[in-house]
Amino acid sequence: MASLGSVLLALAFLAAVSAAVIALLGRNGDERRVVLSRRVVYAFCALLTACVAIIEIAFAGNDFGFKIVQEHSSIETPPFYKMAAMWSSQEGSLLLWAWVLSIASSLALFATRKKLREIVPYATAVMMGVAAFFTGLMLFAPDVQPFATLSPAPADGIGLNPLLQHPSMMIHPPMLYSGYVAFTVPFAFAIGALVTRRLDAEWIRATRRFALIAWAFLGFGLLLGARWSYTELGWGGYWAWDPVENAALMPWLLGTAFLHSIMVQEKRGMLKVWNACLVVGTFSMALLGTFLVRSGVLQSIHAFGDNTVGPYILGLIGVVVIGSTLLIVSRLDDLRSPKRIDSLVSREAVFLVNNLLLVGLTAVIFWGTFFPLISELFTGNKASLAAPWFDRYTTPLAILLVLFTGIGPLLAWRKVSWESAKRVFRVPLAVALVATVALVVFSDAAHKPWALALFVFAAFALTGLAQEFWTGAAARRDLSGESMPQALVGLVARNRRRYGGYIVHAGVAVLLIGIAASSSFQTNRDVNLKPGESTVVDGRTITYVKPIVGVDSEKFTYASLLRVEEDGKLVGYLRPSQRFFKPTGVEVGTIESYFAGESTSEVGLEAGLKEDLWIAPRVDVSDVQRRAHAADSGFAACIKGGPGTPPQCKALQAMMLAAKANPALRSQALGQISKLQSIAAERVAKSYLGDNAAVTFKVIVNPLVTWMWIGGLIALAGALIAIWPTRGRRRGALVRTEADARKEAKYREIRDAELDHAVGKLSDEDFAVVDAELRREALEILDGENGAKVSVGANGDAPNGSENGANGNGAHPHEPEKIEQS
């Protein structure tokens, strides 16, 4: 099977290279070659899928002849973790990278098979170039071949590190990878657009969804990582500004900026240079993330070892950055936009500000992350920056971002008159004011000005968003006669991109409230308690009732039963524990070896909407360790049968001697020994119960931290709504031609303006101007098509904008279909 896998992998590499070559040969409109290259990409995807299947089958079947299986799984590894163990290895994670890329490339090429004919060959070449790079690594770089074998095959594997045996740890890497990888698609199409000088918004429209999917995956991956850290690592935090965390955050931030600024290019034809730079930056950051995890250049908690792959990836980053920069510079004339931002009070202006903030944030994090290398260059010393330095810059920038998260949705495109601005800002500003007063009077927020500012801005943003939903739904209700909830659902369903985006904004605001509250108002104490003793933390009485000890063949578990009371009333019991694992892959060891492997914490967590009570114990097992050592020596002495050993030892010794003479008895003797040993181990482990030993508990009271997870999930839901294809067009969405897409985009813009007018964001005069302009642009598009369509587009539908002003969603959404049918 392994040799089959190697052959398939080699074929996949050839497929990637030839798809790139064939696509480039077809760049001058040779349709047959373009079709062929697309099919070779599908074949590439099929080949890698087969490779992944072979590895997974090997994991499922405990085929320890595979080196990757032997090193990352064992017979006892639970099935779920066996399936996921592939990507805990270097070579497996590279395979995952290439596989996800093959899927994303196939989907992207399928979606664009009827459009972007000039761009697609180059985009194919870029995607397959990257794919060939990663597939080639697995073939030619030392130590990362996924199909390396061991001969003879060992009987059992080393097993998966217990720290990683956590559900979110298993989903987290593929999420992050999918995020990193999916950014390849917009990057590849951007390069294609630059090469062919087709620099309108077509490539953006075709790949916007991929960028959004990448962004959502990456964000969810970050959230899962934070959650794992909070519940599993026993230090109580969710973010440490660790280089590898930063490496995943930076492409996410740049991706966020990109998702906003491409809207400006789509709607106004501006910011083309900026967008090209952003997509290159985002993709380079994604590669940098992949690189940092496996290079060992920076000191990180995720120190995954120095190895051979790093320099190659660095080389790829260099090629991407230098090549793209040269390409952008050579196309500057084509990228220049004739249009200017009309007004500083418009949505595009706010997008620009938000972009600058996001890029500024990325620059700060980049500088901080790579500071050890920078300082080594200048001072010869690898100095590093800690969390307070990061906080000093990221806090104000994040607070400003929340503010603009609130302002952006309230403003219309192009320009906003003073009257309509007053109308839409009135309520959110009032709520922000009330929130300020309430927070200062009723809470300690005044002592933490940053947190106070964030709460107030978040209140402003959330109110503004709620108002958006309310006025939109009300406008729809007035027209359609639906009930309010119906109108709300219809509104969101009809304008998924807009309202999905608003939901993401709300989620992010909620998430940042959680972060601000839990980081500014956290109580964090280490308390030392003996069984029966109590302590009071933040108004709660915590009593250490008793220790509980668990023993099995792979670990000792030391749990502490804790009673939590508030105002004399029982809140609940918590049972945090610390687990000590034998080193993985050790079959029979000493009792002391239980303390030689990993230890993990199971945190005691009383989660609530108001606050979390988080407790992790640090058990002092030095006495138990000492007894284990003594028991081990006793056991050894017993088997040797020294003088003064009890009569049972004689029997054991006789058995050992018999086993030595007759190998058939060996397994029986070993079984007997391990049975006796496990009895002894249990006795040693439980000796702790008689010690009445004190335990150090790390107790953290984290206010509102639950809202961080809730906010993250809200944002994810919003992203899914925005990604989901609009109903009615779903069937046709993938096969739309370029002209249709352009037409549809313009109709969407008209509809957006009408909605903005209906909800009061655009005054009547502004709307008349904007609407006329949009309709003229729409007619220009239609003029470019055949005469029959123009007549339909021009008769009747076009001039009725102002009467239909309140109708955000009535007649016009049908326009594209009407025209397409004609």
Contact residues toward other proteins (CB under 8 A) are 88-90, 93, 143, 161, 163-164, 232-235, 240, 242, 293-294, 299-307, 340, 356, 360, 363-364, 367-368, 371-372, 374-375, 379, 381-386, 388-389, 392-393, 526, 528, 578, 596, 598-601, 616, 618, 620, 622, 696, 698
> How many angstroms separate the CA atoms of 268 and 603, rounded?
52
User: What minimum distance in Å lies between the beta carbon of 374 and other proteins?
Assistant: 8
User: What minimum distance in Å lies between the beta carbon of 385 and other proteins?
Assistant: 5
SS3 state at 540: strand
| Identity of the residue, 381 or 786, whose beta carbon is nearer to other proteins in the bound complex | 381
| Identity of the residue, 376 or 478, whose beta carbon is nearer to other proteins in the bound complex | 376
| Identity of the residue, 292 or 716, whose beta carbon is nearer to other proteins in the bound complex | 292
DSSP 78: -
Q: 609: buried, middle or exposed (CB in 10 Å: 19+, 13-18, 0-12)? A: exposed
User: What minimum distance in Å lies between the beta carbon of 134 and other proteins?
Assistant: 15
| Identity of the residue, 356 or 438, whose beta carbon is nearer to other proteins in the bound complex | 356
User: What minimum distance in Å lies between the beta carbon of 8 and other proteins?
Assistant: 24
> How many angstroms separate the CA atoms of 380 and 396, rounded?
32
Q: 811: buried, middle or exposed (CB in 10 Å: 19+, 13-18, 0-12)? A: middle
Displacement of CA 604 from its chain's centroid (Å): 26
> How many angstroms separate the CA atoms of 189 and 208, rounded?
11
Give me the torsion for CA of 412, 418, 424, 429, rounded to 10°: 120
Element (H, E) at 70: helix 67-72
> What is the CB neighbour count within 10 angstroms for residue 768?
15
The sign of the torsion formed by the CA atoms of 717, 719, 722, 723 equals negative
User: What minimum distance in Å lies between the beta carbon of 340 and other proteins?
Assistant: 7
Give the closest residue to 82 by CA, choosing from 90, 91, 73.
73
| Identity of the residue, 388 or 644, whose beta carbon is nearer to other proteins in the bound complex | 388
| Identity of the residue, 193 or 685, whose beta carbon is nearer to other proteins in the bound complex | 685
| Identity of the residue, 232 or 740, whose beta carbon is nearer to other proteins in the bound complex | 232
| Identity of the residue, 169 or 510, whose beta carbon is nearer to other proteins in the bound complex | 169
> How many angstroms separate the CA atoms of 147 and 10, rounded?
11
| Identity of the residue, 301 or 536, whose beta carbon is nearer to other proteins in the bound complex | 301
Alpha helices in 183-242 (DSSP H): 184-196, 202-232
SS3 state at 63: coil
| Identity of the residue, 360 or 608, whose beta carbon is nearer to other proteins in the bound complex | 360
User: What minimum distance in Å lies between the beta carbon of 152 and other proteins?
Assistant: 18
Residues 6+ apart with CB under 8 A from 513: 454, 455, 458, 704, 707, 711
| Identity of the residue, 698 or 757, whose beta carbon is nearer to other proteins in the bound complex | 698
First to last CA, the chain: 56
User: What minimum distance in Å lies between the beta carbon of 352 and other proteins?
Assistant: 9
User: What minimum distance in Å lies between the beta carbon of 347 and other proteins?
Assistant: 17
Region label for 599, one of left (φ > 0), alpha (ψ between -120 and 50) or beta (otherwise): beta
| Identity of the residue, 343 or 737, whose beta carbon is nearer to other proteins in the bound complex | 343
User: What minimum distance in Å lies between the beta carbon of 306 and other proteins?
Assistant: 7
User: Is 8 within 8 Å of 50 (Cβ atoms)?
Assistant: yes
Give the closest residue to 729 by CA, choosing from 655, 640, 796, 816.
816
In total, the chain counts a number of residues equal to: 822
SS3 state at 113: coil
Structure-token match 């709504």, residue found: 721
Give the closest residue to 723 by CA, choosing from 319, 219, 369.
219
User: Is 286 within 8 Å of 251 (Cβ atoms)?
Assistant: yes
> How many angstroms separate the CA atoms of 262 and 570, rounded?
54
> How many angstroms separate the CA atoms of 525 and 761, rounded?
50
Residues 6+ apart with CB under 8 A from 177: 87, 93, 96, 97, 100
User: What minimum distance in Å lies between the beta carbon of 273 and other proteins?
Assistant: 14
Which two structure tokens, joined as six digits, stand for 726? 């609009």
| Identity of the residue, 35 or 301, whose beta carbon is nearer to other proteins in the bound complex | 301
| Identity of the residue, 528 or 822, whose beta carbon is nearer to other proteins in the bound complex | 528
User: What minimum distance in Å lies between the beta carbon of 378 and other proteins?
Assistant: 8
User: What minimum distance in Å lies between the beta carbon of 423 and other proteins?
Assistant: 27
User: What minimum distance in Å lies between the beta carbon of 59 and other proteins?
Assistant: 16
| Beta bridge pairs of residue 440 | none
| Identity of the residue, 356 or 713, whose beta carbon is nearer to other proteins in the bound complex | 356
| Identity of the residue, 361 or 673, whose beta carbon is nearer to other proteins in the bound complex | 361
User: What minimum distance in Å lies between the beta carbon of 478 and other proteins?
Assistant: 40
Rounded to 5 degrees, φ, ψ at 76 are -80, -15
User: What minimum distance in Å lies between the beta carbon of 299 and other proteins?
Assistant: 5
Which two structure tokens, joined as six digits, stand for 47? 């080949």
Tell me how far CA of residue 387 lies from CA of 222, 226, 254, 285, 508, in angstroms: 18, 15, 21, 21, 21
Q: 822: buried, middle or exposed (CB in 10 Å: 19+, 13-18, 0-12)? A: exposed
User: What minimum distance in Å lies between the beta carbon of 151 and other proteins?
Assistant: 17
Which two structure tokens, joined as six digits, stand for 578? 């610390």
Q: Which 3-state string (H, E, C) describes 435-484?
A: HHHHHHHHCHHHHCHHHHHHHHHHHHHHHHHHHHHHHHHHHHHHHHCCCH
| Identity of the residue, 162 or 808, whose beta carbon is nearer to other proteins in the bound complex | 162
Displacement of CA 249 from its chain's centroid (Å): 8
Residues 6+ apart with CB under 8 A from 717: 503, 507
| Identity of the residue, 365 or 745, whose beta carbon is nearer to other proteins in the bound complex | 365
